[in-house]
Amino acid sequence: MTLCALAHKIPKMNYNVLNHLVRLQQNPEFPNIYDVELENVPALRAYESVEVHLVLYPFSRQIISDTYKFYPFEEYANEISTRRRSVYSRVPQPANSLFGIFLGIVIILFFLAIKPSEVASLQSFVAILGAYFIGKDLWQDIEALFVNVSKDWRVRYQTGYYAYQLERNTTLTHYSALAREQRYGKASLLPERMEFISSSNSKTARLKFSSGDLRRFEQNTAHILAIRLDPAVAAEFASAGYMFSVKLSLNERGLLWRYAHEFFQSLNAGQRGCLDFSNEWTNDAAHAREATFIGNLRYLASQRLGPAITIVRAGAGE
């Protein structure tokens, strides 16, 4: 069955689930801290997984990425990059090794066909080992080529979003969860996979929550991220404004494929909305897409602007 045929089978979804899912609010006790919460968690349990991507871009030119932090994910990424113990570890990339093994096998077959007596020689061993390591590096270039060539196609090649996965089987994870609840004053929810990206002015956190995580979470609202500003720039951040963007993906699983209901919405200097298909700002709307995935192949089935959808909001309520 083709991706196009599968796209016609994308399940219909209840759009009431989208209302007030992500909330950004300034902490009443600490003006330099903004908390991000995932609301209406019980309604999300029907999905195989839920992905929440968050991007913050301050408008003030006095504020750069070094003057604010995304906690706790920035800490976790730094721990892993400096080879310290963390509750997250790197996601394995087996495709690199598999391609290296494939090239190694090709070299073995070459020796068997041309010089069978040389297969067990030191020269052939070095050639096979070299082919393996070259193949591992070469696969990254091949994937980059696939991504660049297909980026404007309706069916395109897409690499994984997430570099880190949660280490679940540690007793300290449970103690950390209790400590985070006491620290934030609300139960927190760690994603099963995450990625953190820091640019010169903006920061991005990509979070993927499994259905199991959502089912085990017993409360309606979960704390998922804290944005901690340098106190020296907190007032400038609030007065100059910022763009806080959310990508939400509600995923459903088929036998060999995945359906994704994707939505984009931002707070732009306090005004909720999104970019339309001409990259023009539209107030009080969300950009909606339906996509089908098989492995690394993604088919964009449809896209539209959805009016009167309130995915993200600021403050304690509206």
In DSSP notation, 154-182 reads: SEEE---S-SEEE--S-HHHHHHHHHHHH
Span 22-80, pLDDT tens digits: 999 999 999 999 999 999 999 999 999 999 999 999 999 999 999 999 999 999 898 88
pLDDT reported for residue 298? 92
Mean pLDDT of the chain: 85
* Lookup: tokens for 85: 């113990």
Question: Among 140-154, 220-234, 246-260, which range has the highest average pLDDT?
Answer: 220-234
d(CA 76, CA 85): 9
First to last CA, the chain: 46
Q: Place 317 in a pLDDT band, splitting at 50, 70 and 90.
A: very low
Largest CA distance in the chain: 78
d(CA 23, CA 37): 5
Which whole number is the average pLDDT over 263-279?
Answer: 94
pLDDT reported for residue 170? 64
The secondary structure element, H or E, covering residue 214 is helix 211-216
d(CA 293, CA 274): 24
Of 252, 286, 263, 306, nearest in space to 6 by CA:
252
Residue 224 DSSP code: E
Span 249-270, pLDDT tens digits: 999 988 788 999 999 999 999 8
pLDDT reported for residue 316? 62
Assess contact for 33 and 27: CB atoms under 8 A.
Answer: yes
- Per DSSP, the three-state class of 31 is coil
pLDDT reported for residue 318? 43
- Residue holding tokens 């300290």? 172
Strand partners of residue 272? 267
Assess contact for 288 and 305: CB atoms under 8 A.
Answer: yes
pTM of the model: 0.84
Q: Is the pLDDT of residue 3 over 60?
A: no
The Cβ-side half-sphere exposure at 247, using a 13 Å CA radius, reads 14
**DSSP assignment of 287-318, as one string?**
EEEEEEEETTEEEEEEEEEEET---EEESS--
- Per DSSP, the three-state class of 153 is coil
pLDDT reported for residue 9? 55
Strand partners of residue 273? 266, 283
- Per DSSP, the three-state class of 199 is coil
